[in-house]
Amino acid sequence: MNTKSYLALIAIDLKLALRRPAVIFFNYLFPLMFFFIFGMLFKAGRVPGAITQVLSMTIALGVLGNGLFGAGLRAIQERELNILRRYKVTPITPVPLLLGSMVTGWVIFLPYIVVIFWLSHVLYHMSWPSNMVSILVFISVGQVAFRAMGLVIASVANSMQEGTILVQLCYFPMLFLSGATFPAEMFPRWLQIVTNFIPATYLVRGVKELMVENHSLSQEWTALAALLTTIVVGVIVGMKLFRWEKDEKIRTSAKLWILAVLLPFLLLGIWQAYK
């Protein structure tokens, strides 16, 4: 496929995505609701530095919703509704569909990031970070990486019910153990070690360090390397296990491929534990 074909595919995917109420909910309403809740709980307008904690948590919530639910469950739904089957008769490979899904998710998600930074500036008087470009790049890489995880889950699930269970098994540990809902500093020491094995931890921690300590992207190279590796592995695994029709079933052992996209974070967790 040439560039024009990719752009046409992405444009179609965007139109279809924006027609779904679930896309609007998980990408905008759900994380925005938590933005205001966390803002009140942490007294973001009065406590210095609290808005940074609020932003890192709500960004992670948005990324997880966009990646695991937005990419994973939507891909399964399209296969179950025989939407993917229509592409099978055209001279197309799984790669454009996988890449198109990642780009679509990023385009839909980016306005949310701009909105919450603007709200933080207007409502909570937060200064605009001097390294805003680095922050946006880091968040974008993280968003695409979690989108890749969602597509791998979609590839190994044989039904919507099975996919929902797999998504939740990944989503809730990341939600509660990464610092996305409770600051990791509140955890006991042994649980803080466990959080080093959770992929979303590196997203939360990276955003916080970029904002508070004014880090550059080069100083977050370990998290960036893990996220970029996840994107590459996710595309390769998604392409390998891609199925056009719902009647095509996959072996139970193939679900172990989920561990492949988690491997960079398992290695990072081991390194952090013995650091």
Residue 136 banded pLDDT, cuts 50, 70, 90: very high
pLDDT score of 181 more than 80: yes
pLDDT tens digit sequence for 194-215 = 888 888 899 988 988 898 888 8
CA-to-CA distance for 28 and 26, rounded, in angstroms? Answer: 6
Residue 49 main-chain phi, psi, to 5 deg: 85, -10
Under 8 Å CB-to-CB from 230, ≥6 apart: which residues? 145, 148, 149, 199, 261, 264, 265
What's the mean pLDDT in 33-51? 86
**Residue 115's closest CA among 61, 63, 55, 65?**
55
What is the torsional sign of CA 124, 187, 274, 261? negative
Mean pLDDT (whole number) for 184-189 = 84
> What's residue 125's pLDDT?
87
Mean pLDDT of the chain: 83
Burial class (CB in 10 A: 0-12, 13-18, 19+), 199: buried
Under a CB-based contact definition with an 8 Å cutoff, are residues 234 and 68 in contact?
Answer: no
pLDDT of residue 133: 92
How far is residue 197's CA from residue 191's CA, in Å, rounded to a whole number? 10
